[in-house]
A and B are shown apart, each in its own frame.
Chain A
Amino acid sequence: MARNHFDRLDDSSTEMKHETLDDWTAERLLRGALPPDDAPPGYGAVATLLEAARTEVRTTTATATDGMVTAMVAAVRRGGVVPRGRRTRAKVAAAASAGVLALSGGMAAAGALPSTAQQQVSRALAKVGIEVPGRGHGEPGSGSHTPKRDGSHDNSGPGSPTPSAHDDNADPAGGAGTTTNHGDCVSQVAGAGGEQVSAVARSDCGKPPTAGGHAAQSTTPAQVKPDSKPQPTPQGHDGSGNGGITSPPGSGNPARPAHESPPPATSAGHSKA
């Protein structure tokens, strides 16, 4: 087999002895397609050794499978769906959207958006059960409410002897014209005396909208500032002694937004009229 002049075993050039191992033979040797007996002289042991190495790894059983598979499942979900760049962009977009929504929602709740925007936001939020004024600041109808969905029946409880006070058609001050406040409402019917004055006094005429979404139905919209605070009076105008701000007992928390209020007993409240 020796094909050169180097015979010493410790000579590094002894590798040259096997330089004639052609690619095809080497390939068969490495693929395990060359039995030791068929191997070129000197390579029988190599064929045996490679086969032994091949056997060892293929008879080994994978260990710790359960924990590893669980980790792999998590890794697939972590890395296999969205490329990292997209994930980052999605997070940025989500954060920006949340910021815009929070800002516009806050402004809408204050009725501070321009009319069109206010209406859009109001409609959008109404779909998810959040009531905000439907018109912009200073616009007609600002501070109005949607009486069928909100807590406009706060006064329909026992402490509210004029349950129809919020009904436009039933408002005794309906013909009172423009008023700036509840006092004006009452003043305008002062001459009528007795029952009518009492009824108007118990109504919400001229009152600013409450947290439950109430608004004075008879007031001129332009005269009502949406951000104006209701002024509690020592003696409530609704007869409940709450200054028109708080609800009568049993009507729920007036400070609670309309969408958080329990469903109003509309027919019952109005039937008292």
Chain B
Amino acid sequence: MALSERFDEVLQAAQTGAPWALEAIYRDLHPIVLGFLRHRAPNDAEDLAADVFIGVAEGVGRFRGSEARFRSWVFTIAYRRLADLRRRADRRRTEPIAAAVLAEHTPVGDAEHDVMLAIGTRSALARIAALPEAQAEVILLRVVADLSVDDVARIMRRRPGAVRALQHRALQRLARELPGGP
């Protein structure tokens, strides 16, 4: 991502409160954090994302590690904020999508590629978000946040093997539901 080679410099400056460095972090990570949150808590995603970055700023002075670790740490904060929100709201563990909505995004025809182009990216994320909660979170963290199995396992407080099992089931489910699937 955008930070990559400058990460150490940016981190060091951010730890001193340099606005340019904090802005670089925000610009780099905000879209993917928001992308993750938007599909887990659509109504609160913006506020949650802001809360996440305030938390990042509060803790950045004590952070030590690589960019990958930093990304994982940021998503750990995001995941915990999300969990806090869920506890507060006492929501159901899944947010089922109405059949009509799914039907709207379900393509007809056999040409897989053309169909997927017609679906568009938004429905792609919607499909992922429609997976069972744990599966959706694994896929979003792996694909949207670009995190490793170990990072996701740490964030979700699960074993890596459990995360692999979840991602397998998610992929199978997507394959089954998408056109062209078996």
Contact = CB atoms under 8 A, between A and B. Distances in A.
A54 interface: yes
B26 A69 contact: yes
B182 A49 contact: no
Interface stretch (A57-65, A156-164, A244-252): A57-65
Contacts, number: 175
Contacts of A61: 27, 31
Contact of B19 (A17, A73, A78): A73
B153 interface: no
A72 B77 CA distance: 15
Contacts of B56: 72
B121 A55 contact: yes
A92 B125 CA distance: 52
Contacts of B125: 52-53, 56-57
Given A42-B182, A53-B124, A76 B172 contact: no
B128 A49 contact: yes
Tell me whether chain B's interface is mostly helix, strand or loop, or mixed: helix
Interface of B: 14-17, 19, 22-23, 26-27, 30-32, 34-36, 50, 53-62, 112-113, 115-116, 119-122, 124-125, 127-128, 139, 142-144, 146, 149, 164, 167-169, 171-176, 178-182
A80 B58 contact: yes
A242 B167 CA distance: 95
Interface of A: 1-2, 9, 14-15, 17-19, 21, 23, 26-27, 29-32, 36, 41-46, 48-50, 52-65, 68-81
Contact of A41 (B19, B23, B182): B182
B109 to A, nearest CB: 12
Contact of A69 (B23, B58, B60): B23
Given A49-B178, A72-B53, A36 B171 contact: no
A80 B122 CA distance: 38
